[in-house]
């Protein structure tokens, strides 16, 4: 049934017309019913009825009114169809409507037809990866069509990215809802502009313009109309003393720009890394979104971690390269943004970095070897940039792009036997069915001119390629190739072609929240160190979102199935260990509670609650309770070192601040939430090293034979850890609980 809205709900953003402004609005469709009413559908894109918000696999849809809307994402972006209204008479001056989704003319659109011809058409705002599923108001002036009979048609004839359309609240009115442009000019006396952000608010396209209207930065931002969730910041150090203009293309309330302030420090500098959900030993960005690690390299005494970064919002978008450095892979210092987008819509996607030993590129100066990075410029192709100041500033190679193709994510490496560079880069061809996805290999002697060498099919985005000794034997090496999902093959590489030797199937090391990993170039100790993106480890309500996985050392070891990759946390993480509770053989449990060496069936013991209270007064008890709470909180970031032999138990369970990790003896597997991995007993023994942080749990089984990453955001008041058996006994060889100090500046929380 079609329902009318109140005039207050449709208050116009612009001044009302002088003509009869008292005429009520006429709602053509609000899509609140259980079906489309008299609207006719073709194809499969629109389903049988209006959608109730976000559909499976879709980014969150926002900005629609009520509970229903037109959403053609049924079965994803591959579906097509049309939705056509019954005829209606045009008897108001304007048509207002909410629209979002794909921005493809004639393919993802809302059309107004009179006498069978399209007289007005509108699309959503999105054509590039990312974007927002938020619907926005739009309006058509139909004064010249008064009294005519018309039909509305919602069209989805697009497949692929943003191949869908969202529509809601189509209203005849004399009060058009047309978002306004707005601007504010500011004389910069300080380094940073603090920009108010409200996650889920209207996303607007913003520009920061310098003198003469030159665009300094351009990005999408969910500008807070009222109280912000957090403040993002734009670094404008080089423009201090000058005027800049902050301009938005459209905004519901121009007063939002009045909340922009300037300062000489990043927002809430004193509270950084102390936020309630801030991980204490996993890397997260100060503000905004984080994903793929990029450009991992050791150079001039520092480990460099570049990464995909949205500095202006909690969600994906506005891809820049964030930048952090560390002396030890553990304590990171975030630096200013390394790579900005070439222009709006031409984003800085993933890539890699190397030290150009010998200055083969000629980019170096003063006898020093430059840092060289390759990245995907989404509007151009694979591009080269270089730095002669330890990665603090970068210069574009004037010959960019150096490779142009339908792909992304270039990985650079030096192939010493051939004395040339290699670029391993993802490539795809959507014209063939099924779609071809591959890693392509290019070669170069100078990092500027590249020649295609070969192709390896069956891998998807973010490739990595390196050589490892088997069992530490330098005379017995294999090459490893993998892509974003971490599944890998072993084989030989001659500098141009990778030849698999480990069979047709890929092998799996990581399970769960792990994606787009990369390894460090030029690691000073000769190790192969890897960092992945802990995809979908989220921090709702925070100013930051997503985190990196722990840095691990990769090795190749012989197993019964042949050589396989193992991953163990880098030794540097041990420096964070503080207090330890040793439960091995229960030596520290009071005599009256001492169980036998074997943990018996259905036995459960809290690991961190052995803090007795002996109070002589109420004040004394309160003091001791506060002290105990403090001690329990100190173990919120911790590592558990466990080794046991099942001798009849059906399972051993670790309860970690409300999340349960289960080892199933019969299945010989380890599971937590939806993550599961095969973990065989080795000579009857199972070894687990479990890292617990504010947003995740990471488990390394049997000295790195399997690695699990699990998103887990515990309740702030839950500090409990517990070990339990089900259905039989286990023999504990080791059980230690270490608290971990923060790796952040000023000790974190």
DSSP bridge partners of 232: 195
Give me the mean pLDDT over the 100-120 stretch. 97
Residue 172, pLDDT above cutoff 70: yes
The span from the CA of 714 to the CA of 146, in Å, is 59
Residue 340, pLDDT above cutoff 70: yes
The span from the CA of 521 to the CA of 464, in Å, is 11
The pLDDT, as a whole number, for residue 63 is 83
Residue 349, pLDDT above cutoff 80: yes
Asked whether the beta carbons of 290 and 268 are under 8 A apart, the reply is no
Hunting for tokens 């939430």 — which residue is that?
673
Give me the mean pLDDT over the 454-483 stretch. 97
Residue 550, pLDDT above cutoff 70: yes
Q: Which DSSP helix (H) or strand (E) runs through 618?
A: helix 618-633
**How many degrees, rounded to 5, is the angle at CA 452 between CA 448 and CA 457?**
130
All residues at 6 or more sequence positions from 27 whose CB lies less than 8 Å from its CB, including other chains = 2, 3, 4, 5, 169, 170, 171, 172
The span from the CA of 423 to the CA of 123, in Å, is 39
The helix/strand/coil state of 213 is helix
Q: In what order do the strands lie in the sheet with 381-387?
A: 348-355, 371-377, 381-387, 395-396
DSSP track, 282-299: S---SSEEEEEEEEEEEE
pLDDT tens column, 387-429 = 999 999 999 999 999 999 999 999 999 999 999 999 999 999 9
pLDDT, the chain, mean: 90
The pLDDT, as a whole number, for residue 406 is 94
Asked whether the beta carbons of 87 and 152 are under 8 A apart, the reply is no
The pLDDT, as a whole number, for residue 556 is 98
The pLDDT, as a whole number, for residue 675 is 97
Q: Which DSSP helix (H) or strand (E) runs through 627?
A: helix 618-633
The pLDDT, as a whole number, for residue 617 is 64
The span from the CA of 54 to the CA of 73, in Å, is 9
Q: How many CB atoms lie within 10 A of CB 159?
A: 15
Q: How many CB atoms lie within 10 A of CB 582?
A: 14
Nearest CA among 117, 203, 95, 109 for reference residue 163: 109
Instruction: Quote the DSSP letter at residue 310.
Output: E
Confidence grade of residue 2 (pLDDT, cut at 50, 70, 90) = very low
The pLDDT, as a whole number, for residue 587 is 41
pLDDT tens column, 270-322 = 899 999 899 999 999 999 999 999 999 999 999 999 999 999 999 999 999 99
Residue 17, pLDDT above cutoff 50: no
The pLDDT, as a whole number, for residue 202 is 76
Confidence grade of residue 588 (pLDDT, cut at 50, 70, 90) = very low
Asked whether the beta carbons of 118 and 112 are under 8 A apart, the reply is yes
Q: What percent of the chain has pLDDT over 70?
A: 90
The pLDDT, as a whole number, for residue 526 is 96
Nearest CA among 241, 234, 242, 240 for reference residue 260: 234
All residues at 6 or more sequence positions from 279 whose CB lies less than 8 Å from its CB, including other chains = 547, 637, 693, 694, 695, 696
Confidence grade of residue 178 (pLDDT, cut at 50, 70, 90) = confident
Nearest CA among 468, 462, 502 for reference residue 482: 462
C-alpha 421 chain-centroid distance = 30
The pLDDT, as a whole number, for residue 479 is 98
Phi, psi of 748 (to 5 degrees): 60, -140
The pLDDT, as a whole number, for residue 475 is 95
Residue 260, pLDDT above cutoff 70: yes
Give me the mean pLDDT over the 209-215 stretch. 93
Confidence grade of residue 700 (pLDDT, cut at 50, 70, 90) = very high
pLDDT tens column, 28-83 = 999 999 999 999 999 999 999 999 999 998 988 988 999 999 999 999 999 999 99
The pLDDT, as a whole number, for residue 635 is 81
The pLDDT, as a whole number, for residue 190 is 96
The pLDDT, as a whole number, for residue 605 is 62
pLDDT tens column, 377-394 = 999 999 999 999 999 999
Catalytic residue among 292, 356, 409, 440: 292
Give me the mean pLDDT over the 693-706 stretch. 97
The span from the CA of 677 to the CA of 233, in Å, is 41
pLDDT tens column, 597-655 = 566 555 566 675 544 445 556 676 566 666 666 666 778 899 999 999 998 889 999 99
Is 25 labeled as catalytic in the residue annotation?
A: no
The span from the CA of 722 to the CA of 427, in Å, is 47
Q: What percent of the chain has pLDDT over 90?
A: 77
Sign of the CA dihedral running 82, 83, 86, 90:
negative
Domains and CATH numbers, the chain: 8-173 (2.60.120.200), 180-263 (no CATH), 285-402 (2.115.10.20), 573-747 (2.60.120.560)
Ramachandran sector of residue 73 (left: φ over 0; alpha: ψ -120 to 50; beta: rest)? alpha
Hunting for tokens 């058409």 — which residue is that?
121
C-alpha 543 chain-centroid distance = 14
């Amino acid at each position: 049934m079609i329902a009318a809205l109140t005039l207050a709900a449709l208050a116009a953003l612009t001044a009302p017309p002088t003509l009869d402004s008292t005429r009520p609005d006429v709602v053509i469709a609000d899509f609140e019913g259980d079906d489309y009413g008299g609207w006719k559908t073709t194809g499969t894109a629109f389903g049988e009825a209006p959608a109730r918000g976000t559909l499976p696999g879709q980014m969150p849809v926002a900005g629609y009114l009520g509970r229903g809307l037109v959403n053609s994402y049924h079965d994803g972006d591959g579906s097509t169809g049309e939705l056509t209204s019954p005829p209606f008479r045009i008897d108001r001056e304007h048509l207002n409507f909410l629209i979002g989704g794909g921005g493809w003319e004639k393919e993802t659109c809302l059309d107004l037809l009179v006498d069978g011809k399209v007289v007005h058409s509108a699309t959503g705002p999105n054509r590039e990866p990312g974007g927002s599923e938020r619907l926005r108001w739009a309006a058509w002036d139909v004064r010249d069509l008064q009294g005519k009979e018309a039909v509305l048609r919602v069209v989805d004839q697009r497949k692929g990215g943003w191949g869908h359309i969202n529509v809601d609240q189509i209203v005849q009115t004399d009060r058009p809802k047309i978002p306004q442009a707005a601007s504010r000019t500011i004389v910069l006396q300080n380094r940073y502009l603090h920009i108010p952000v409200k996650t889920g608010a209207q996303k607007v396209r913003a520009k920061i313009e310098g003198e003469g209207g030159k665009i300094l930065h351009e990005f999408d931002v969910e500008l807070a109309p009222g109280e912000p969730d957090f403040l993002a910041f734009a670094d404008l150090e080089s423009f201090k003393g000058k005027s800049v203009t902050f301009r938005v293309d459209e905004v519901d309330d121009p007063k939002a720009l009045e909340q922009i302030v300037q300062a000489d420090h990043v927002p809430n500098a004193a509270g950084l890394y102390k936020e309630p959900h801030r991980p204490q030993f996993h890397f997260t960005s100060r503000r905004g979104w984080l994903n793929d690690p990029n450009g991992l390299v050791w150079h001039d005494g520092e480990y460099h971690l570049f990464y995909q970064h949205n500095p202006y919002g909690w969600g994906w978008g506005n891809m820049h390269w964030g930048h952090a450095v560390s002396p030890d892979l553990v304590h990171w210092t975030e630096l200013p943004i390394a790579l900005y987008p070439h222009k709006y819509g031409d984003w800085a996607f993933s890539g890699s970095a190397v030290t150009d030993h010998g200055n083969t590129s000629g980019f170096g100066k003063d006898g020093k070897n430059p840092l060289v990075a390759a990245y995907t410029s989404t509007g151009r192709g694979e591009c080269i940039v270089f730095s002669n100041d330890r990665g603090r500033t970068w210069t574009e190679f004037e010959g960019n792009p150096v490779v142009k193709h339908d792909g992304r994510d270039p990985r650079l490496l030096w192939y010493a036997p051939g004395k040339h560079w290699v670029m391993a880069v993802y490539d795809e061809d959507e014209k063939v069915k099924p779609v071809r996805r591959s890693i392509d290999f290019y070669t170069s002697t100078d990092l500027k001119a590249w020649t295609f060498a070969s192709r390896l099919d069956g891998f998807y985005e973010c490739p990595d390629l390196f050589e490892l000794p088997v069992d530490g034997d330098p005379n017995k090496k294999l090459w490893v190739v993998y892509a974003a999902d971490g599944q890998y093959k072993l084989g030989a590489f001659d500098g141009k072609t990778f030849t698999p030797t480990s069979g047709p199937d890929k092998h799996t090391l990581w399970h769960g929240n792990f994606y787009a990993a990369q390894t460090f170039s030029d690691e000073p100790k000769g190790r192969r160190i890897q960092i992945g993106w802990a995809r979908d480890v989220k921090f709702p309500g925070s100013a930051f979102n997503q985190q990196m996985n722990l840095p691990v050392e990769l090795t190749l070891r012989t197993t019964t199935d042949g050589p396989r990759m193992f991953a163990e946390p880098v030794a540097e993480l041990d420096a964070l260990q503080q207090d330890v509770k040793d439960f091995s053989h229960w030596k520290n449990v009071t005599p009256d509670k001492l169980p036998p060496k074997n943990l018996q069936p259905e036995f459960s013991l809290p690991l961190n609650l052995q803090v007795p209270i002996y109070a002589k007064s109420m004040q004394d008890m309160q003091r001791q309770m506060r002290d105990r709470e403090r001690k329990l909180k100190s173990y919120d970031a911790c590592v558990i070192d466990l080794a046991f032999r099942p001798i009849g138990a059906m399972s051993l369970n670790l309860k970690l601040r409300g999340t349960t990790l289960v080892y199933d003896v019969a299945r010989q597997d380890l599971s937590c939430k939806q993550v599961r991995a095969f973990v065989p007993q080795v000579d009857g023994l199972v070894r687990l090293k479990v890292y617990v942080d504010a947003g995740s749990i990471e488990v390394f089984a049997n000295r790195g034979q399997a690695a699990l990453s699990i998103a887990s955001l515990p309740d702030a008041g839950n500090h409990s850890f517990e070990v339990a058996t089900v259905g039989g006994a286990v023999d504990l060889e080791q059980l230690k609980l270490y608290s971990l100090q923060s790796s952040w500046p000023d000790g974190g929380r």
